[in-house]
Structure 1
Amino acid sequence: MRLRSFLAAVALLFTTSAVAQQYKYATVPGDPMQTRIYTLDNGLKVYLSVNKEKPRLQTYIAVRTGSRNDPAETTGLAHYLEHLMFKGSTHFGSSDVVAEAPLLDSIQNRFEAYRRLTDKAARKKAYHEIDSISQLAAKYNIPNEYDKLMASIGAEGTNAYTSNDVTCYVEDIPSNEIDTWAKIESDRFKNMVIRGFHTELEAVYEEFNIGLAKDNNKEWNALAAKLFPGHPYGTQTTIGTQEHLKNPSILNIKNYYNRYYVPNNVAICMAGDFDPDKVVAIIDKYFGDWKKNDQLSRPEYAPVRDLTAPVDTTVVGLEAENLMMGWKAQGAASYQADTLDVITNMLSNGKAGIFDLNLNAPMKVQAAQAGYMGMADYGQFILIGMPKQGQSLEEVRKLMLAEIDKLKKGQFADNLLSAVVNNMKLDYYRSLQDNSSRADKFVDAFINGKKWSDEVNRLDRISKMTRQQIVDFANRFFLDNYVTVFKRQGNDTTIHKIEKPSITPIPTNNDKRSQFLQEVVNLKADPIQPSFVDYKKDLTKAVTKKGVEVLYKQNTEDELFTLAFHYPFGTKSDNRYEIAAGYLDYVGTAKLSNQKLNQLFYDLACSYKVNVGGDAIDIVLTGLNSSMPKALRLLETVLNEAKANKATWNQFVELLLKSRADAKSNQGANFSALRYYGMYGKYNAYTNQMSEKELRAANPQTLLNLLRDLKTKKHTLLYYGPTKEADLDALVSKVHLTPKTLAPAPAAKEYTALRTTDNEVWIAPYDAKNIYLMMLHNEGAKWNADKAAIEALFNEYFGGGMNAIVFQELREARGLAYSASASYSRPARPQDDEMFFTYIITQNDKMMDCVNEFLNLLNNTPEREANFKLAQQALIKSLATARTTKFGVLASYLRAQKMGLDYDLNQKIYETLPKLQLKDVMNFAKENIANKNYRYLILGDEKNLDMKALEKIATVKRFTTNEIFGE
Structure 2
Amino acid sequence: MKTNKLLLYCLVVFSAINSYSQKKSSKEFKVDFEKFTLDNGLQVILHIDKSDPVVAVALTSHVGSAREIQGRTGFAHLFEHLLFLESENLGKGGLDKMSARIGGEGANGSTSRDRTNYFQTVPKDALEKMIWAEADKLGFFINTVTEPVLAKEKQVVKNEKRQSYDNRPYGHNFSVISKNLYPSTHPYNWDVIGSLEDLQNATLDDVKNFYKRWYVPNNVTLTIAGDIDVNQTKIWVEKYFGEIKRGDAIPKMEKQAVVLPGTKKLYYEDNFAKLPQLTLTWPSVYEYHPDSYALEVLANYLSKGKKAPLYKTLVEDKKITDAADVFQYNSEIAGQYMLSVTAFDKTNLNEVMNGVNEAFAKFETEGISQQDLDRIKAGQETAFYNNLSSVLGKGFQLAQYEIFAGTPEYINQDVKNILAVTRDDVMRVYKKYIQNKPFVATSFVPKGEKNLILDGSILADVVEEKIIEGKEDSFDASIAATYEKTPSKFDRSIEPAYGASPDVILPVVWKDKMPSGMSLLGIENYEVPLVQFQLQIKGGLLLENSEKIGVSNMLAELMTKGTANKTPEQLENAIESLGASIKATASDEAISIYGTTLAKNYTATMALVQEILLQPRWDTKEFELIKQSTLSQIMQQKADPNYIARIEFKKLLFGTSILSNNRIGSEKTVSSITIDDLKNYFTTNMSPSNVNFHVVGAVNKNSVSNSLKIISKNWSTKNIVIPTNANTTAISSSQVYFYDVPGAKQSVIRIGYPALAATDSDYYPAQILNYRLGGGSFASQLTQELREGKGYTYGISSMFMGSVNKGFFAVSSGVRSNVTFESVALVKDILQKYGTNFNANDLDVTKSYLIKSNARAFETLSSKLEMLYDISNYNYTDDYAKKQENIVKNITIDDIKTLAKKYLDPNKMIYLIVGDAETQLKKLEQLGFGTPKLINSPKPN
Tell me which interval the TM-score lies in, with the shorter structure as reference length.
0.7 to 0.9
The range that moved more, 598-607 or 440-449, is 440-449
Distance 1:392 1:784, change over 3 A: closer
Map 1:68-79 → 2, pairs under 5 A: 68-79=66-77
Tell me by how many angstroms 1:447 deviates. Answer: 3.7
**Does structure 1 residue 432 correspond to structure 2 residue 359?**
no
2:746 to 770, 790, 794: 770
Alignment of 1:694-773 (within 5 A): 694-701=669-676, 703-704=678-679, 706-707=681-682, 710-711=686-687, 713-734=689-710, 737-738=713-714, 742-748=717-723, 750=725, 753-767=728-742, 768-773=744-749
Following TM superposition, by how much is the alpha carbon of 1:62 offset from its aligned partner in structure 2, in angstroms? 0.6
2:585 matched to 1:611? yes
1:306 alignment partner, SS class: coil
Partner of 2:22: none
Alignment RMSD: 3.2
1:939 paired to 2:914: yes
Is residue 531–residue 882 contact of structure 1 (8 Å, CA) maintained in 2? no
Paired residue for 1:285, among 239, 243, 256? 239
Cα pair distance change 1:714/1:300, threshold 3 Å: closer
Query: 1:906 is paired with a residue of what secondary structure?
Result: helix
Kindly indicate whether residue 645 of structure 2 is the aligned counterpart of residue 671 of structure 1. Answer: yes
Q: Does residue 1:458 correspond to 2:414, yes or no?
A: yes
Cα distance in 2, alignment partners of residues 729 and 635 from structure 1? 14
Structure 2 residue corresponding to 1:876, chosen from 851, 857, 863: 851
Q: Report the residue type matching 1:194 in the other structure.
A: V
Counterparts of residues 174-253 of structure 1 (less than 5 Å) = 174-192=123-141, 193-195=144-146, 196-210=149-163, 211-253=165-207
Which amino acid in 2 is paired with 1:718?
H
Q: Choose from 503, 515, 520 the match for 1:550.
A: 520
Aligned residue for 1:913? 888
8 A Cα contact 1:361 1:595, kept in partner? no
Q: Does 1:52 align with 2:50?
A: yes
Q: Indicate the residue corresponding to 1:902 in structure 2.
A: 877
Corresponding residue for residue 487 of structure 1: 444
Deviations 1:397-446 (A, max 9, x none): 22223323333444333311111112111111111122222122123223
Q: Which of 331, 344, 348 is residue 388 of structure 1 equivalent to?
A: 344
Task: Provide the rounded CA distance (Å) in 2 between the counterparts of 1:785 and 1:164.
Answer: 47
Paired residues of 1:228 and 1:304 also in contact (CA < 8 A): no
Distance 1:925 1:759 in 2: 17
Pairing partner for 2:904 from 920, 924, 929: 929
Range that drifts further, 935-944 or 267-276: 267-276
Q: Give distance in 2, aligned partners of 1:152 and 1:307.
A: 52
Q: Displacement, 1:776?
A: 1.4
Amino acid at match of 2:709: S
Q: 1:883 to 1:712 in 2, by over 3 A?
A: closer
| Partner in structure 2 of residue 561 of structure 1 | 531
1:622 counterpart = 2:579? no
Cα 1:518–1:156 shift into 2, 3 Å: farther
Aligned with residue 808 of structure 1, among 784, 791, 813: 784
* Paired residues for 1:509-524 under 5 Å: 523-524=497-498
Q: Partner of 1:335 in structure 2?
A: 290
1:500 to 2:471 alignment: yes
Q: Does 1:151 align with 2:151?
A: no
List alignment gaps of at least 5 residues for structure 1.
1-27, 94-142
Inter-partner Cα distance in structure 1 for 2:242 and 2:818: 48
Identity %: 19
Q: Check whether the contact 1:633–1:735 (CA below 8 A) recurs between aligned residues.
A: no
Q: 1:148 touches 1:870 (CA, 8 Å); kept in 2?
A: no
- Whole-angstrom CA distance in 1 between matches of 2:623 and 2:603: 31
Contact 1:539 1:889 in 2 (8 A): no
Q: 1:852 to 1:372 in 2, by over 3 A?
A: same
Tell me the alpha carbon deviations over residues 832-883 of structure 1, each in whole angstroms, 9 at most, x when there is no partner: 25x4332321122211211222232222233454343223222221124433
Which of structures 1 and 2 has the bigger CA Rg? 1
| Residue identity opposite 1:315 in structure 2 | Y
State the partner residue of 2:510: 540
- Provide the rounded CA distance (Å) in 2 between the counterparts of 1:517 and 1:815: 33
Q: Report SS of the residue matched to 1:771.
A: strand
Q: Distance in 2 between matches of 1:655 and 1:826?
A: 29
Distance change >3 Å, CA 324–CA 686, structure 1 → 2? farther
1:822 pairs with 795, 798, 803, which one? 798
**1:500-558 deviation per Cα after TM superposition (whole angstroms, max 9, x unaligned):** 33525554899xxx99999656834322233335xxxx222223466543223334344
Q: Does 1:365 align with 2:307?
A: no
Q: Which region of structure 1 is more displaced relative to structure 2, 207-216 or 174-183? A: 207-216
What code does the residue aligned with 1:148 have?
Answer: K
Are the structure 2 counterparts of residues 287 and 818 from structure 1 closer, same or farther at C-alpha, using a change threshold of 3 Å? same
User: What's the CA shift for 1:271?
Assistant: 2.3
Pair 1:849-2:822 in alignment: yes
Match of 1:38 among 13, 36, 39: 36
Structure 2 CA distance for aligned equivalents of residues 810 and 69 of structure 1 = 31
Is the CA contact 2:537–2:688 (under 8 Å) kept in the aligned structure 1? no
What CA distance in whole angstroms lies between the structure 2 residues aligned with 1:826 and 1:633? Answer: 35
Q: Given the alignment, which residue of 272, 294, 313 partners 2:266?
A: 313
Shift of 1:691: 5.2
Distance 1:71 1:691, change over 3 A: closer
Which SS does the other structure have where 1:808 is aligned?
Answer: helix
State the Cα distance separating 1:565 from its structure 2 match: 2.4
Q: Distance in 1 between matches of 2:369 and 2:934?
A: 51
Partners of 2:505 and 2:237 lie apart in 1 by 28
What is the alpha-carbon distance in structure 2 between the residues aligned to residue 647 and residue 826 of structure 1? 38
Partner of 1:6: none
CA distance in 1, matches of 2:352, 2:613: 32
CA contact (8 A) 2:921 2:932 kept: no
1:454 CA displacement? 3.1
Instruction: Letter of the 1:602 partner, please give it.
Output: E
The answer on whether the counterparts of 1:644 and 1:701 sit within 8 Å (CA) in structure 2 is no
1:81, distance to aligned residue in structure 2 (A): 2.1
1:8-157 correspondence to structure 2 within 5 Å: 30-93=28-91, 143-157=92-106
The structure-2 alpha-carbon separation of the partners of 1:961 and 1:453, relative to structure 1 and needing over 3 Å to count, comes to farther
How many residues in Structure 1 have an aligned counterpart in Structure 2? 873
What's the offset of the Cα at 1:32? 3.9
After superposition, the C-alpha distances for 1:346-394 in whole angstroms (9 at most, x for unaligned) are 2234465443455446655221011111101111111111213442222
CA distance in 2, matches of 1:412, 1:346: 8
- Residues in 2 aligned to 1:532 and 1:424: alpha-carbon distance in whole angstroms: 31
Could you tell me which amino acid in structure 1 is paired with residue 160 of structure 2?
E
Which range moves more in the overlay, 416-425 or 921-930? 921-930
1:138 aligns to what? none
For structure 2, the 5+ residue unaligned runs are 1-25, 449-461
The one-letter amino acid paired with 1:42 is N
Judged with a 3 Å threshold, the aligned counterparts in structure 2 of structure 1 residues 645 and 808 are, in CA distance, closer, same or farther, namely closer
Deviates more, 1:651-660 or 1:758-767: 651-660
